[in-house]
């Protein structure tokens, strides 16, 4: 007898070749795509593959993105990137993206993610793929070795936590604020390494890039995957990036009566959120922190520097200059988004406001680039503010949306962006 299935169950069932699966079962799934980058990939995989005398199972299903150690700032960075480039060349990998952006943004903008896929990534923010109705999660190098050789991985079928957001977000409030609010409410283990599915009117109204932010920060929420059921917004995005294959959106929806743990939120009541040092779980309404002086405002990372994030910051800064003593740093998430932002005049607005432009890479979010001074107070659009995460051990990092980061740069202290937008 057929049992109602969540979206997570349907994706896993398809990957293991069964009509349905039950929560708690352990099953072996076929992997549709494996992504890794210069930090997590060749320098770790190559020696293990050589020791085993093993070969890659399907090169067409592997994507390598060189995004962490570029641009190479020292000998160690050059060594790591050289290993990645040499290995990619030796293996004749067909899907290599070198210095064109952060993996979690580059992957979808080149059409690699589609509803119904089962994917793994060598990075903790790999759940970003869930925004497209794909089951995607992060794994370590040893697990990636198994996938790279066999094309398979086992999973335990998770419970589903449904986050239902009714009504719509107010101007100046974003998906980043939604995620910070949920993490602040439930903590960094709130997802219990289960499947989280985001839904409701507010989520349906979000663009794909905003949905990507939700799924991306499922990692900070402690869930294995962060899913958004595909719809016309998904299809429109995929067609724009060149995906021509048929997509059965109706198949990849949770059954209405599928068993899940439900939580309700009112998007219309949500204020901009800020997470205090040194955890995304230290989140409160922005009013709690209004007036905290900042020396650095950082707009970067896969969470906070996509095209729509850059547009948000520009809407605050247009025709204005950042406060004296504030260093505004902008590191676009991908070259494609930077190019589009330049064509729209967004990059000009940011630079005229005083922004220092960095490369389209992970940069200071992952502790590279040296753009965060020791002892500074930082307001950042990144996903994490752990002590030393951005390189400077003595820095105090607050997290907010691009709206909030830009408004804080403008005034020199943490600011509710709605005051500036008004």
Q: How confident is the model at residue 366 (pLDDT cuts 50, 70, 90)?
A: confident
Confidence check: pLDDT of 92 > 90: yes
For tokens 């068993």, name the residue. 259
Check whether 369 has a pLDDT greater than 90.
no
In angstroms, the CA 103 to CA 138 distance is 12
Global pTM?
A: 0.97
Q: Which two tokens stand for residue 395?
A: 């820095």
Question: 89, exposed or middle or buried, with CB in 10 Å at 0-12, 13-18, 19+?
Answer: exposed
The DSSP annotation for 308-327 comes to HHHHHHHHHHTT--PPTT-E
Backbone angles phi, psi at 260, to 5 degrees: -155, 165
Short-list 390, 276, 371, 294, CA closest to 329: 371
pLDDT tens track for 207-258:
999 999 999 999 999 999 999 999 999 999 999 999 999 999 999 999 999 9
Question: In 3-state terms, what secondary structure has residue 366?
Answer: helix
Give the CA dihedral 99, 372, 306, 186, nearest 10 degrees.
120
CATH number corresponding to 272-421? 3.30.499.10
How far apart (Å, rounded) are the C-alpha atoms in residues 56 and 254? 34
Asked, colleague to colleague, whether 7-248+258-265 and 272-421 share their fold, the answer is yes
CATH class of the 7-248+258-265 domain in this structure: alpha beta
User: Which class for 205: exposed (0-12), middle (13-18), buried (19 or more C-beta within 10 A)?
Assistant: middle
Residue 68 CA to residue 77 CA, distance in Å, equals: 9
CB atoms within 10 A of CB 195: 30
Domain boundaries, the chain: 7-248+258-265, 272-421
């Amino acid at each position: 007898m057929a049992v109602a299935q969540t979206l997570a169950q349907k994706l896993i069932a398809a990957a293991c070749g069964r009509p349905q699966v039950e929560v708690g079962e352990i099953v072996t799934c076929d992997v549709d795509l494996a992504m890794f980058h210069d930090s997590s990939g060749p320098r770790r995989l190559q020696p293990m593959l050589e020791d085993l005398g093993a070969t890659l199972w399907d090169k067409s299903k592997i994507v390598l993105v060189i995004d962490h150690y570029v641009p190479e700032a020292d000998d160690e960075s050059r060594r790591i990137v050289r290993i990645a480039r040499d290995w990619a060349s030796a293996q004749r990998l067909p899907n290599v993206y070198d210095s064109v952006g952060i993996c979690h943004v580059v992957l979808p903008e080149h059409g690699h993610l589609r509803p119904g896929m089962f994917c793994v990534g060598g990075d903790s923010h790999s759940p970003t793929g869930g925004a497209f109705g794909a089951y995607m999660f992060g794994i370590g190098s040893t697990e990636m070795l198994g996938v790279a050789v066999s094309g398979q991985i086992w999973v335990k079928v998770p419970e589903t936590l449904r986050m239902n957001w009714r009504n719509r977000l107010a101007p100046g409030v974003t998906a980043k604020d939604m995620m910070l609010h949920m993490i602040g409410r439930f903590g960094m283990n709130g997802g219990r390494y289960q499947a989280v599915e985001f839904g409701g009117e507010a989520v349906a109204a979000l663009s794909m890039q905003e949905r990507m932010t939700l799924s991306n920060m499922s990692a900070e929420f402690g869930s294995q995957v962060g899913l958004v059921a595909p719809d016309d917004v998904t299809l429109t995005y995929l067609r724009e990036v060149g995906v021509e294959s048929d997509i059965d959106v109706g198949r990849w929806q949770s059954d209405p009566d599928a068993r899940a743990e439900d939580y309700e939120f009112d998007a219309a009541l949500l204020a901009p959120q800020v997470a205090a040092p040194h955890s995304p779980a230290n989140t409160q309404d922005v009013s709690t922190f209004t007036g905290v002086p900042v020396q650095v405002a950082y707009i970067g990372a896969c969470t906070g520097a996509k095209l729509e994030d850059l547009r948000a910051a520009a809407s605050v800064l247009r025709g204005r200059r950042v406060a004296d003593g504030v260093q505004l740093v902008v590191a676009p998430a991908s070259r494609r988004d930077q190019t589009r932002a330049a064509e729209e005049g967004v990059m000009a607005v940011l630079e005229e406001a005083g922004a220092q432009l960095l490369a389209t890479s992970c940069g200071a979010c992952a502790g590279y680039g040296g753009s965060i001074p020791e002892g500074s107070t930082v307001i950042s659009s990144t996903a994490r503010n752990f002590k030393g995460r951005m390189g400077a051990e003595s820095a105090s990092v607050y997290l907010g949306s691009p709206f909030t980061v830009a408004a804080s740069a403008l005034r020199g202290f943490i600011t509710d962006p709605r005051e500036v937008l008004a």
